Amino acid sequence: MVGVIVVTHGLLGKYLLDAAQTILGPQEQCAHIAVEGSVEVETLMTELKRAVKHVDSGNGVLILTDMFGGTPSNISLSLLQTNKIDVLTGANLPMLLRILGMRDQNLSELVLDAKNAAIQGIVAAGEILTRKIKGA
């Protein structure tokens, strides 16, 4: 099973994991790290490396971050290792649900499926409703 770590500004990662577990039930090999303004980067790196060791059962670790270019993704990117650790930015609930439901895949397939789930989870509801009204 691929391990999952959600690294975000503030407690967003905790709340994403909490929401996912409300829907899917308790999940193993998951962690979150909150990046707060007052925490040193060295401390965050130590915490992230510890989390990787904790959630990795040998099938790799997927680190989700809230946005590319922010501190959470920047520290996570420093741990990239082909077929062992990957980083996916733009974390959202559809992405996390897909990951947690398909962690038996290999890491590279899981990343692609998660990215697609994240994109499909973005919907402009007004556009859909307008199309339905015009089509009716």
For 42, other C-beta atoms within 10 Å of its C-beta total 9
Average pLDDT over residues 83-107: 95
The whole-number average pLDDT for the span 32-53 is 93
Distance CA 91, CA 5 (A): 11
CA–CA gap between residue 95 and residue 116 (Å, rounded):
8
Q: Where are the domains of the chain?
A: 3-135
pLDDT at 52 > cutoff 90: yes
83: left (phi over 0), alpha (psi -120 to 50) or beta: left
Integer Cα distance of 135 and 129 in angstroms: 10
Specify the pLDDT at position 99: 97
Residue 2 near residue 62 (C-beta atoms within 8 A): yes
- Per-residue pLDDT, averaged over 87-101, amounts to 96
User: CATH homologous superfamily for 3-135?
Assistant: Phosphotransferase system, mannose-type IIA component (3.40.50.510)
- The 10s digit of each residue's pLDDT in 23-38 is 999 999 999 999 998 8
| Average confidence score pLDDT of the chain | 94
Is the model's pLDDT at 136 over the cut of 70? no
Using 50, 70 and 90 to split pLDDT, how confident is the model at 126?
Answer: confident
